Amino acid sequence: AAPLSQFSLPPKLPSPTSRHVAVIGAGAAGLVTARELGREGHSVVVFEREDQVGGTWVYTPKVESDPIGLDPRRTVVHSSLYQSLRTNLPREVMGFRDFPFVAKRDDEKNVRDPRRFPGHREVLLYLKDFSREFGIGELVRFETEVEYVGLVDGGKWKVRSKKRGELGVDEIYDAVVVCNGHYTEPRIAEIPGVDTWPGKQIHSHNFRIPEPFRDQVVILIGSAASAVDISRDIAAVAKEVHVASRTITDGTIGKQPGYDNLWLRSMIKSAHEDGSVVFQDGSVVFGDVILHCTGYKFHFPFLDTNGIVTVDDNRVGPLYKHIFPPALAPWLSFVGLPWKVIPFPLCELQSQWIAGLLSHRIDLPSEEEMMEDINAFYSTLEVSGKPKRYTHNLAGCQFDYDDWLAIQRGSALSEEWRKQMYSAVSKRKRAQPETYRDEWDDEDLIIQANHDFIKYFP
């Protein structure tokens, strides 16, 4: 294949105004945001606390001092990856739209993982390829944490950052794009009586390998992708694994097919001093560990907006289209907040829109109109009985959202094969959680995807 650079750097679009923009984070969201801002002619500085790009995809065996993640003084470990993690999306679907995540040959430095649902290291290598291809690394200040972002006179932003081992520095930017990820600050299930329960508690943020659970009775709370993976991982060594889920359907409760030590149970009702845990259906288990696979909180400890942006029950708001607080648009934006989505292409579209708005090549509605849109959206959520914490859950509507963004910017709509493949994989994942990564029947869609990718590898 020809080198990507032949076509991956299109001629710069006419850029009426170039801005000085701070991007916080060099994960997938920050990398693609930096690329899009650069393509639009803005000057970009990316701040990254760690010493490399990749964010979540930089696996570390390190865990935090407080296994449940409640102690605000704990040293934060950013990534929540566990050692055995393979992607839960096929690589065709997962990659950026114009930089497909195709299997690569090993090179002198790295052995590559060609599987369709590769291990986590392959995603990191892909993000590094992306960063190298588009020269993003040169824009990143590594080992530099953003400690404070706040408004100053004239509508600009003060960004205080601190490079490891140095003093903090204040700088002024026209705009700030927040790309700090949202899988680091644990959310914990509230369990009546847990304070007197004698067992251990841990959040999946601090789960790496199953070994510490050998011969233990583990009660795992949650039913999202990582809960499914981790319960199977642990069942290989634990005495018993009991998965407590809010979203069980009748007929699935009880011992799980193919296992003699894995049960699906209703939600936990209470925990007790004698070590027992009582489930809502009345069953009782004496457990050693409660493992909370209960998700994460949005967390922006550096951000000071004078109360304009708040996080309330995991709703970051008010945000127009999950990106802009109307009163501060387009000068403050968030990339990558939506979940139950395909994150990379979604971040790509969000950042393209932001880049075009910052240069005034495209326009936003008025502040009032944006607020009306947000309030109408919140009302729809309320009417449909969705809790606030589901505000950024785009299950069932991510492609409408992606296409809306694409239209704002005049980009291509989501590919039909991507939509169909996502839906096929979601169904397979539910039906065969152990095997969906290695057995499939959407070969026709893979062919269509690869055919589409040819334009990026002429």
Question: Under the rule (CB under 6 A), what is the footprint of ligand FAD?
Answer: 24-30, 47-50, 55-57, 78, 80-81, 85, 87-89, 94, 145-146, 179-181, 183, 226, 302, 336, 343-344
Say how far apart CA 108 and CA 85 lie, in whole Å.
24
Give me the residue label for tokens 């006179």: 153
Kindly report the number of other CB atoms within 10 A of residue 307's CB atom.
6
**Residue (29 or 264) nearer to ligand FAD, CB:** 29
Sign of CA dihedral 218, 246, 55, 236: positive
**Residue (181 or 287) nearer to ligand FAD, CB:** 181
**Residue (161 or 216) nearer to ligand FAD, CB:** 161
Say how far apart CA 171 and CA 152 lie, in whole Å.
11
At closest approach, how far in Å is the CB of 288 from ligand FAD? Answer: 23
Give yes or no for a cis peptide into 318 (omega within 30° of 0): yes
Give me the residue label for tokens 């889920």: 245
At closest approach, how far in Å is the CB of 33 from ligand FAD? Answer: 9
| Degrees to nearest 5, angle at CA 456 with 451 and 458 | 85
Burial 399-437 (b: 16+ CB within 10 A, else e): bebbbebbebbebeebbebbbebbebbeebeeeebeebb
- Amino acid in position 75: T
Q: State whether residue 70 is helix, strand or coil.
A: coil
Say how far apart CA 439 and CA 444 lie, in whole Å.
14
Q: Which of 436, 397, 443 shows the shortest CA–CA distance to 88?
A: 436
**Residue (269 or 389) nearer to ligand FAD, CB:** 389
**Residue (87 or 245) nearer to ligand FAD, CB:** 87
**Residue (55 or 356) nearer to ligand FAD, CB:** 55
At closest approach, how far in Å is the CB of 163 from ligand FAD? Answer: 11
**Residue (145 or 174) nearer to ligand FAD, CB:** 145
At closest approach, how far in Å is the CB of 28 from ligand FAD? Answer: 4
At closest approach, how far in Å is the CB of 268 from ligand FAD? Answer: 22
For residue 422, what are the CA distances in angstroms to 276, 340, 397, 398? 40, 11, 12, 11
**Residue (87 or 411) nearer to ligand FAD, CB:** 87
Q: Which of 73, 55, 57 shows the shortest CA–CA distance to 65?
A: 73
At closest approach, how far in Å is the CB of 378 from ligand FAD? Answer: 23
